[in-house]
Amino acid sequence: MARMTSPLDMTSVLVMPDHVKYAFHMQSRVRELRLQQALSQQALAQALGVSRQTINAIETGRYDPSLTLAVQLARHFETTVEELFDVDA
């Protein structure tokens, strides 16, 4: 989210903009595919043996899953890792 800053606004120094903060994380289609299957984050998390917070972090681009979890996610949605995650985004 873009922040309006003034020369005296020190929070702009302390708060990292989202486009910088998430610059090194992948975008994914996990949320889109999960909603297509009418699954909750909790249900998907239980199916994969991870926490609901991890699914949320992957969906919001705050966490890049390991290769193992990425493959498990892709298998769950019957797609490929490259279809599920966009490293060039």
Partner 1 sequence: MSTRRWLRMSWWNAVLALVVLAGAVAMAVLGRWLVAAIFLAVVVLVVASAVYARSGRASDLTRLNAVEYLDERDRAVGTQAFAIVGVLALVLSMLVFILGTALLEPDSPMFFVLWGQIIVLTIGWAVANLVALRRS
Q: Please report, as ranges, the residues that interact with partner 1 according to CB under 8 A.
A: 49-51, 53-54, 57, 63, 65-66, 68-69
**Helix, strand, coil percent content, the chain, rounded in steps of 5:** 50, 5, 45
Nearest residue (CB) to partner 1, 39 versus 69: 69
Would you say 28 or 65 has its CB closer to partner 1?
65
* Least distance to partner 1, CB of residue 58, Å: 8
**R_g of the chain computed on alpha carbons:** 16
In the complex, the smallest distance separating the C-beta of residue 51 from partner 1, rounded to whole angstroms, is 5
d(CA 15, CA 33): 32
